[in-house]
Amino acid sequence: MSESAHPSLQDILDAFERLAERVAASPSSRLDPFVSVSLRRACEELRRYIPGLDAPPDPEAARFLARAAYAAMEDNDAREALARALRGLSFAPHHPGLFFVAATACFEFGAVEDAIRLLRHTLWIHPGHTAARRDLEALSAYMTDRWNTPGDRTAEEAAAAHEFGMIDPELAFDMAEEEELLASEGEEGEIQPLDDEDERAA
């Protein structure tokens, strides 16, 4: 892929903001496949940017939203927690605490693979994040057992996998494409508190 084909850091920040709005507005009881694929792409693209090399746009806003996201999880509101975490990432895209709470919210949605991906990204930013490492080990073991058991995939998981494969991973980084998709739709584990490690690494 050429350098020009990659989104800029600002494109990624804008994508997080749009994803936050999409999550907050969605009535679905499971994670939107559009959001799932977009998060995967965002994690891949963010690895081109070294954490700490560039100052985040608004670290104070990110810290506020991290605390708000954790509070939403404590109230068992995974949707609000994920929306707040994504909005926080639009202000500080390398904040490990925001990725961790987003992973926890994804798990509550039943999106275990997305949770694992976000936990891995949390550890890429902050290898010493104890809670993320603990949860990653537990979820990885769970997934290994689940997918090795014949016939253990539910109808809902199969439908989600099908939708996941139908989504273009470029969409969240292209406002015109996203607006077209939204228009067509209109026609038809225990969480750990934000700790000082997260604050210092953000």
Q: What's the CATH number where 46 sits?
A: 1.25.40.10
Question: In this structure, is residue 163 part of a structural domain?
Answer: yes
Nearest to 80 by CA among 122, 21, 133: 21
| Alpha-carbon span 63 to 93, nearest angstrom | 12
Give me the pLDDT at residue 27, please. Answer: 87
Instruction: Examine residue 166 and state whether it is found in any structural domain, yes or no.
Output: yes
User: In this predicted structure, what is the pLDDT of residue 58?
Assistant: 96
CA-CA distance, 140 to 52, in Å (whole number)? 28
Range of the domain at 16: 8-174
Q: Is residue 86 part of a domain?
A: yes
Alpha helices in the chain (DSSP H): 9-25, 33-46, 59-74, 78-89, 96-108, 112-125, 130-147, 155-166, 175-187, 196-201
Domain count, the chain: 1
- Give the per-residue pLDDT at 195: 55
What local confidence, expressed as pLDDT, does residue 84 receive?
A: 98
Give first-to-last CA distance, the chain, whole Å.
29
- Is 53 a member of any domain? yes
- In this prediction, residue 164 carries a pLDDT of 42
Instruction: Please tell me whether residue 182 adopts helix, strand or coil conformation.
Output: helix
Helix (H) or strand (E) holding 124: helix 112-125
The whole-number mean pLDDT for each consecutive block of 10 residues of the chain, a chain of 202 residues, reads 74 95 91 92 93 90 97 96 98 97 95 93 95 91 69 52 44 44 43 51 54
Is residue 190 one of the residues assigned to a domain?
A: no
Residue 64 lies in a domain: yes
Q: Has residue 201 been placed in a domain?
A: no
Which of 100, 102, 132, 95 lies closest to 20, judged by CA?
A: 102
Question: Can you tell me whether residue 186 is helix, strand or coil?
Answer: helix
Residue 124 domain-assigned (yes or no): yes
